[in-house]
Structure 1
Amino acid sequence: MTKTLVVMGQGYVGLPLAQAASAAGYRVRGYDITDSLVAALNAGTSHVDDLSDADVATMLAQGYAATTDPGVIAEADVVVICVPTPLGDDGGPDLRAVEAATTSAAEHLAPGTVVILESTTYPGTTEDRVLPILMTSGLRLDDGFFLAFSPERVNPGFPEYGITNTPKLVGGVTPASGERAVAFYSAFVDTVVPLSGAKEAEMAKLLENTYRHVNIALVNEMARFSHDLGIDIWEVIRGAATKPFGFQAFSPGPGVGGHCIPIDPNYLSFQVRKTLGYQFRFVELAQEINNSMPGYVATRIGDLLNEQGKALNGAKVLLLGVTYKPDIADQRESPAVPLAKILREKKADVSFHDPYVERWRIDGAPLDRVPDLDEAVATADVVVLLQNHRSYDVTGLAARSTSFFDTRGVAAGESTHRL
């Protein structure tokens, strides 16, 4: 008998999960509250970088359907919640989407359903926030329903690791719930790793992202004083990376973007402060350093113009790549936005080019991509590489620039200045 999966949230986490489960033989229903998104998916149009329209068409042929009707939950053997958890005004995660999805699940929950939360959040959310809502269904844990947490590990823009070949952590609220969740993922994930509980799985996700956040901050700070000391940080990293043990290379940049790095570690910092009454100092310091990088880049741009005898006021600054990662269209928390704001405040004439973004918004104001990249490069006082998209001929762009500021350490040449 074909089992039914309902994935709540059809974004960059939920849609790839729906794809993998569809391919494994599940009857998948993708639930989302956005009418236009559901209509597009049912018409075979993808809005996620890592899935093409052809991928969605294949899913539809396999029986997938998107819907805005929460009633489909009543048919589900498994419900996976993959909704956003942005930062709230208090610095903690905004759980309104999680609570709304869980409430919908509780209203339609059938006996025996396995419910899994994948949305990143602070430790204790699954047990303290999700479980009580599900119990309003009148069903009991491990009798009427099963509950677990499994952190998403989607890495947009890097197709070598997807749902099936990235190890999946699973922590049940109880051992019986954990076993049911492990059995579900084992149908289409190569390696499933059971953890002792939901809190451990929630914390593991935050450890992964905090590790990256802190190490990026470390190398960002080293990049700044290395420049002042006349040391090429990129050569330093290249040399250190030859050590076969005890070192993992991280690269500096104009800031950090996406959901995972600038947002997720703050969940843990918030919870530690709220619950235990003291600071998670590594995270708060890393946040301070990484958040300062757009301002530092703006200062370096001003210094380069000064060397040319020009002021930042009125200078033509062309930004290349405004997404938060290379080779995708995702702009969430991109450091290009605060950099552009700073440059505009200093009266610079800011333009941009990105092969994945036709219209960019800065403080709500739209800005169209330059129509002719070569012409824009030739007329700019400074060209700034923020994101190294593969389609960019960085060497050629640098050679044609009056001044080329490379924040990614990939360019060379007389006109090139590196972070």
Structure 2
Amino acid sequence: MNFKNYFLLGLLLCGISACSSDDSAGPEEPVLQKAKFAVSVKNDQVAKRTKAGNTDYDKTVNKLTVGIFGDSWSTIYTQTPTTSVDGQFSQIGPQEVYAGDVQVVVVANASTKVEAALKSAKTMEEFIATPITLSDEYSENGLTMSSQVFDDIKIIADKTNYFGYAESKGDLPSVDGQTDGVEIKGDGAVKLVRNVASVSLKSINLSSEGNYNSKSFLLKEVFVANVKGLSQAASREEWGKIETPFTITADNDYLKYWVGEMFEGTMDMGTYKYGTQTESENLKKEETENCLLTDSWNKIPASIDYPFYVYENVNGETNSTGKNYTLFVVRGDYTYTSKGGGDITDKDRFYAVIVNNPADMNASNYEGVGKHNYVKRNCKYEINLTILGPGSEVPYDPMISTNLSTAVKVEPWNVKNVHEEVE
């Protein structure tokens, strides 16, 4: 091979080497700049019932799980909050994160299992759709709560980014004497909404205005039925829907509903309830002493003002009108005086109320919360029952010869009055 051929071969090899070097370089990876992130949520302490039945605080924040999702990264972490000096806020951080445009969501009091599921989420949609279980609401963790998804949040590099400390975005809040940070959300502390509703018996009264001369009522128990045992961790909107739709294709699918008490045979189903549901002692309150109502109670029942925590149930059983909407049921012995003068006692009579039945509602009943049907999270449903007659022999069917009139006032969590007259 002559010199000319060697020269040409050398040029060819150099060209191949240059092309190979260009291909392997590829596009440059973006450099993530570090930042710090701190969250503040508002403390709104009002009375609640703990698992033991004592009064505590239903807005207690025991721990916070924060999900931050950027363009090419995400971080999900859980911390126990500290309380601000004035006691108004629970706060966590600063936590090391990356700068850039992000989405942020906060969940409070997640159980260990739910916390692990949240941390495995790859996207915001997976995070907010994480299932939560009703049994966790009766644990020592406290009630689960969640924020909306905050879009278009920009974390600033080399800064402490405060989320919920000041009213205006761009403010420079002083936090524990530190003034090196900047508010990136504005509009004050992050608002958390409970993932449960509360249903309770507020009062029972006797009336003789109907067909019966009511004499007394011995209250034995109250319980709830058709309670959804699952929900989801959060919603995109503040106070948005988190109800889990149930697909019923087999009888055992009804176990996804929970009930306070099971009955034998045909008594366990009826017009308002279908399917064998999961029994939970948390959804029933029995009276251990004789609580007799005449003109007044001889002893205030333990079930008065005793809240049951339930998940959203707006849809009931899809395509089955009237079935499996959340029910509140009272059982007791009703005594009336007959026209002949003797007293007659009908034992174990049931008074079932569909919670927030739209047939009994109108727009003027709602204050501070939009008109809705059935059970919505973060509402309190307090039931006032006026008994005019014996009620029903079975728990889940409409009462025979019954007048049922309802007046409801709905407010966020604190007040939701249901007035029932039952004959």
Higher helix share: 1
**TM-score tier after normalising by the smaller chain length:** under 0.3
Name which structure has the greater RCO, CA cutoff 8 Å, separation 6+. Answer: 2
Q: TM-score, normalised by structure 1?
A: 0.25
Higher Rg: 2
